[in-house]
């Protein structure tokens, strides 16, 4: 089984259930753990991304940071495949797209972003049913979202 298969293959039965808001943050958490990044600046980038995109709706910065910590712990204990299974079982296709766009914005805002992060998100998007063209469109939408708020700073 290849790397993407091991990262995004079928998961084991989960002992933890994440709520919808937490599941919406999950794709942004995958690169943090898989690339062993410093957590604080990455969660801050995710909170910035939530503020810019207004996704998930109604979450304060503190709530995003708290949920992100919960998601990271769940991924550590359950694994990426199990969290991906939760996403597939409890989120709609539209929510999958919204969560992927949010993750792309978070990675673009990350001070430690690299191509690996985008590869992880591409693999997750593929597992959620999005092809390369759709992922590229989400990438462009994420970039446009940041540019519309921050001007030419990504």
Give domain status of residue 9, yes or no: no
Domain of residue 132: give its range.
Answer: 20-150
Give domain status of residue 11, yes or no: no
Give domain status of residue 123, yes or no: yes
- Reply yes or no on whether the pLDDT at 70 is more than 90: yes
Give domain status of residue 72, yes or no: yes
Yes or no: say if 51 and 61 are a contact pair by the CB < 8 Å rule.
Answer: yes
Could you read off the pLDDT of 81-124 as tens digits, one per residue?
A: 999 999 999 999 999 999 999 999 999 999 999 999 999 999 99
The DSSP letter of residue 31 is H
Query: How many Cβ atoms sit within 10 Å of the Cβ of residue 107?
Result: 27
Give domain status of residue 12, yes or no: no
Give domain status of residue 5, yes or no: no
Cα–Cα distance between 29 and 75 in angstroms, integer?
A: 8
Domain count, the chain: 1
- Tell me: cis bond preceding 56? Omega within 30 of 0 counts: yes
Give domain status of residue 91, yes or no: yes
Torsion of CA 114, 65, 67, 154, to 10 degrees: -30
Give domain status of residue 8, yes or no: no
Cα–Cα distance between 101 and 150 in angstroms, integer?
A: 17
- Reply yes or no on whether the pLDDT at 16 is more than 70: no
């Amino acid at each position: 089984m290849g790397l993407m298969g091991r990262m995004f293959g079928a998961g084991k039965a989960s002992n933890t259930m994440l709520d919808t808001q937490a599941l919406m943050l999950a794709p942004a958490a995958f690169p943090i753990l898989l690339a062993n990044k410093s957590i604080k600046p990455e969660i801050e980038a995710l909170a910035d991304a939530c503020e810019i995109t207004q996704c998930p709706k109604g979450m304060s910065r503190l709530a995003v940071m708290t949920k992100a910590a919960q998601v990271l712990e769940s991924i550590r204990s359950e694994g990426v495949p199990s969290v991906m299974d939760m996403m597939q079982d409890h989120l709609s296709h539209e929510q999958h797209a919204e969560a992927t766009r949010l993750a792309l914005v978070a990675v673009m805002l990350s001070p430690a972003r690299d191509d690996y992060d985008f590869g992880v998100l591409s693999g997750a998007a593929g597992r959620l049913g999005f092809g390369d063209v759709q992922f590229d469109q989400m990438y462009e939408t994420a970039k446009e979202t940041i540019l519309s708020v921050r001007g030419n700073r990504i």
